[in-house]
Amino acid sequence: MSTEARSAVAPGGIAPPPRWARVAAHLAVASTVPSSLWRAALALGVPLGISEQELLENYHSPGWGTVYMLGLSALVECLAYLTLGLVRPWGEVAPRWIPVIGGRAVRPMAAVIPAAVGAGILTLLWWSQLVVVLWVPHEHDAPYGAYRAFMLACYTPLLLWGPLLAAVTVSYHRRHRTA
């Protein structure tokens, strides 16, 4: 770390996040995009190796399944975006437009605890899903062939989300603990 980086301190005596933490936070957000796009495409009727009949029977799309898949994609992206709060100024002071807490300092543990719990849940969820997808036979194992490889390529980056969030959370906690 350079002398300038060590001496640069944000208002309130908190050191700025290290470069690796900023990169990790952005990678955490980016890790969710491919699966959200895959889910959104499926919800909007792009077959992706799944027949229209199977789409309707197993995914309830079109119908409430479409709303569910689009809503899940939006929720995942919003939750992933919160990772940036651990390396951005709005993770130190809540933006003014947020009712009740806007303009107030963010209590470090109010960010660290949910982020740490989320990192643990995400890591467990996605790594256990990988085992299920790769090694447990399924009755409805669509999509098939190249579409299955494409789906796995879209979902595999999610394996990084939990560990990256954990690393960024540790960085945030260390910076705020020493302030």
Q: Is residue 157 part of a domain?
A: yes
Name the one residue in this structure whose structure tokens are 């990988």.
Answer: 130
Residues making up the chain, counted from first to last: 179
Name the β-bridge partners of 10. 14
Q: 141-150: long-range contacts at Cβ-Cβ below 8 A with a sequence spacing of 24 or more?
A: 142/49, 142/50, 142/51, 142/54, 142/58, 143/48, 143/49, 143/50, 144/49, 145/49, 146/49, 147/48, 147/49, 147/50, 148/49, 150/38, 150/48, 150/49
28: closest CA among 178, 160, 175, 147?
160
- Centroid of chain to Cα 144: 27
Beta-strand ranges (E) seen in the chain are none
Residue 105 domain flag: yes
Looking at residue 4, its pLDDT comes to: 43
Range with lowest mean pLDDT among 64-78, 82-96, 133-147: 133-147
Phi, psi (deg, nearest 5) at residue 68: -60, -50
Choice between 171 and 147, residue whose per-residue pLDDT is larger = 171
How does pLDDT run across 35-73, given as a tens digit for each residue? Answer: 999 889 888 888 777 777 776 666 666 777 788 889 999
Cα angle 41, 44, 46; round to 5: 55
pLDDT number for residue 2: 44
Q: Evaluate whether residue 1 is within a structural domain.
A: no
Report yes or no on 3 lying in a domain. no
- Domain extent for 44: 17-177
Render pLDDT for 9-31 as a digit per residue (tens, 0 to 9): 455 678 889 999 999 999 999 99
What pLDDT shows up at residue 169? 97
Number of domains in the chain: 1
